[in-house]
Each structure stands twice: as structure tokens, then as C-alpha cells.
Amino acid sequence: MTAEASTREAYGRTLIELGKQNKDIVVLDADLSLSTMTHLFAREFPEHFFDCGLEEQNMIGIAAGLAASGKIVFASSFAVFASCRCFDQVRLCVSQPKLNVKIVATHSGISVGEDGTSHHAIEDLSLYCALPSFTVIVPADAIETTKAVKAAAATYGPFYIRLSRPKTPLIYHEDHHFMVGKSVTLRRGKDVTIIAMGIMVAKALQAAQKLATQGIDSRVIDMHTLNPLDEKAIIKAASETGAIVVAEEHLAHGGLGSRVAQIVAKQKPVPMAFVNLEDHYASSGKGEELLRRFGLTAEGIEKAAKQVVRKQ
């Protein structure tokens, strides 16, 4: 995993490809197109792009109206604005009528870094997972981002796709087969399962390699879709490995860990550990420094895996 690529740049390039294939693709942004990379689409298809200014609430209303008129709508902003600032409009205008709006948010989590606490989207997944009609996806790399955006365009209904600011390691090859709601087992193992999403997937693979040198055989699952969740993969992992670690760049409540724990508690209780932000806001700082400060690292996952293995 030496090569890196930007998930938001992959998103921008994929929008161009979709725009060439389907005249019903429409893209909206909230004055952040240079950062979300929707400006790439705007340059190619200016008549199908609308910059709504610093008005995320209005952007969602416009997106809903266009979707109700038969368009396939992609609406983008930073994750903190696309979730917290316009939640009421998303709930009423998109989720309840189940409209064909794809909200693709960049600059998620604390890896946004120096933008500071006000811009750290660490509640967004809990908010979107609370909306019954939304499909929620967190791609692990740029290649999976392309596949997820194409799948969203081809699937009717509301989507939330969470992307990051920094470049991230490439995990997949171009022939990667992506299915909404179907996780990917990246590494097989019998002693413990590490379930991760987004930028934490690469760190989970690194942790598994380190654990292998210590005699611990780790399964690694990329749980890219939070809703609908791949319950079968979780139950199988609990049954076959007897311990689970969940790693995510999010608060402890309402994200991937909470959703996995619900399934484990109901179907196959096993020791679990959670690598996340717990119940803390971060601060301004370089992204990697913040991730290390809060233990969102391969070493943090390794430590958690050892703890749950001892509890078996």
C-alpha cells in the first residue's frame, strides 16, 4: 500500500464520466467546488452544475426539487456542513419522500486537521444512519470511491457517501467488484476480526500484518456500507474468530461500532473493542498528529486486538 490517491478527486473524475453517460445527472455545491472537486464536472457540464453559495439548507431543497423532477442529483459540501447544518432539510425534503439525491461529502473526520473542531465531522454517520431511507457508504480508497459513486447513480434513492480530505493508500485494484451492502474480506484470519471503514481500513491491514508477527491471525473486513449493514459477515466473523475490533474515524456513539455491536449482541455475543474518538471533540492540528493523539492508528488497532483476544 505505497501508492496514494485522493477520494475527492476520484469523485470529481467519476462525475465527469457519469455526466457523459447520462444527461439527467445534475451536480450541486455550496461554494466549495474547488475543494470537493465538483468544479471538474462544472467545467465540462456548466448547464448541469449549480453553485448554491454558502446555503447548504437551500442546496438540499433545490436538490430535492430537481430529484422530484426526474434528475439524478449529486449534492456536495464538507461533511460537517452536509450533515449538521442542513439535517432538518435532509430529513424532511430527501429522507421522508425517499428522493433520488446523492449527498457526497468531503473533508470528514479529524483528518481535516488544521481546519479545527468546528470543521471536524465526527457526528455525521450517526445522523445519516438515523435516517431510515438513506444508504450510507464510507469508501476505503479512491478506487472504491469511484465504484460507490457509480453504484449510487445507478440505484434509486437517497445516499450519503463520506470522503476524506487527504490522499489515502490505495487498497484495491481497478477490477474491484463493489456491491452496496456487501462488505469485503481483505484478509482471512481465525483469532480476531478487525472491522473498519474509510481511512481506518489501511490502518487495519497494517495492524493485522504486525499482529501476524506475534502469532495472532487477524481477519480484516472493509465494512464500506453502514446502512444497510452486512449482518451475515458480522455474524460469521463473530462465530469463526470469537473476537471483534471495530475501527472508525468517528465518535463512539451511532457510528460503525454501535451498529456492529447491536448485531453481535443480538446474534453472537463475543468480546469486542472499539477504536474511535470515544466521546471527545478534537482540536486544530495536523491530521496525522490528531489521529495519533486519539489512537486512530495501526498501533491502536493492534493494542485493541490483543485485548479482545485475551478475553476469549
d(CA 97, CA 85): 20
d(CA 5, CA 132): 32
Backbone angles phi, psi at 109, to 5 degrees: 65, -165
Please tell me which residue in 56, 123, 144, 302 is annotated as part of the active site: 56
Instruction: Confirm whether 278 is a catalytic residue.
Output: no
DSSP state of 255: S
Residue 240 corresponds to which amino acid?
Answer: E
The DSSP H or E segment spanning 185 is strand 184-187
Backbone angles phi, psi at 168, to 5 degrees: -130, 155
Contact 302, 276 (CB under 8 A): no
Q: DSSP for 122-174?
A: -SHHHHHHTSTT-EEE--SSHHHHHHHHHHHHHS-S-EEEE--SS-EE--S-T
Whole-number CA gyration radius for the chain: 19
Closest CA to 105 of 72, 138, 124, 82: 82
Q: Most distant CA pair in the chain: distance in Å?
A: 59
User: What are the catalytic residues?
Assistant: 56
